[in-house]
Amino acid sequence: MTAGVLSPADLAAIGLTLRLAAATTLVLLLVALPLAWWLASSCSRLRAPVAALVTLPLVLPPTVLGFYLLVLMGPDGPLGRFTQSMGWGLLSFTFTGLLIGSVVYSLPFAVQPLRDAFEAAGRRPLEVAQTLGATPLQAFVTVALPLARPGLLTAAVLSFAHTIGEFGVVLMIGGNIPGRTQVVSTQIYGHVEAMDYGNAHTLAAVLLLFSFAVLLALSLLGRRRLRVLP
């Protein structure tokens, strides 16, 4: 078996994958920041059920999650009926549908590092800031966020990397439509189905090297954090 050369379809799949990962990471950070803060600071009885719901994609098979999201977006699903009533059509087998599925599937990888960072910082710095006249929002932006910056960086890297390697969810929601929903993982699957092991090997090697680089970066980041701790 010899590695093949990246074809235009492979390059298109890589481009779509990077675009999906970037959009997913941006949306996840916007969603995960307030959610992680609430989980780290709330005493509500809903905290445990919400935490379990957020963590569910870690243990749920991706095909199961993808199936229920497909039903949700389908013509008889509540989201599908809403988008059709608004004249947007169905979200399944579209980039937007892939984005929704990726956000749900990668949510734990964004929330958990941020929650850990907020819990490690504690409430004391914010209480001090508020005694000096800062509003809760000002204390969060000027104190909590800077203290949680390592967790924010970890959440962004993990979210991006996890989206790059998705397969089951994106295949269920988006299929494998060239130029529209065909990402790297489904492109590899297509090569294997066609017995084109050379090109499959090339794309798989790209993902392997990327995954190694991400893990190495996270390891170096962790060592740097340990060195700066008092």
Q: Which of 1.10.150.120, 1.10.3720.10, 2.60.40.10, 3.40.50.2300 would CATH assign to domain 21-175?
A: 1.10.3720.10
Which tokens go with 103? 């956000």
| pLDDT confidence of residue 4 | 61
Confidence of residue 230 (pLDDT cuts 50, 70, 90): very low
Closest CA to 20 of 111, 112, 107, 100: 100
3-state secondary structure at position 70: helix
Q: Between these two residues, 20 and 165, which has the higher pLDDT value?
A: 20
Q: Which long-range contacts (CB under 8 A, 24 or more apart) does 58-67 make?
A: 58/108, 61/168, 62/105, 62/166, 62/167, 62/168, 62/169, 62/172, 63/168, 63/169, 63/172, 65/101, 65/104, 65/105, 65/168, 65/169, 66/101, 66/168, 66/169, 66/170, 66/171, 66/172, 66/173, 67/172
Read off the pTM: 0.86
| pLDDT confidence of residue 125 | 75
Confidence of residue 228 (pLDDT cuts 50, 70, 90): very low
Which tokens go with 219? 């390891």
Report the C-alpha gap between 179 and 170 in whole angstroms.
Answer: 14
93-116 residue pLDDT tens: 999 999 999 999 999 999 999 999
Rg (CA), the chain: 20
**Residues with Cβ < 8 Å from 12, sequence gap 6 or more?**
178, 179, 182
Residue 188 has pLDDT above 80, yes or no: yes
**Residues with Cβ < 8 Å from 127, sequence gap 6 or more?**
none
| pLDDT confidence of residue 115 | 92
Closest CA to 180 of 105, 93, 75: 93
Q: How far is CA 125 from CA 52, 113, 128, 132, 150, in A?
A: 28, 19, 5, 11, 17
16-70 residue pLDDT tens: 999 999 999 999 999 999 999 999 888 889 999 999 999 999 998 898 999 999 9
Report the C-alpha gap between 220 and 30 in whole angstroms.
Answer: 26
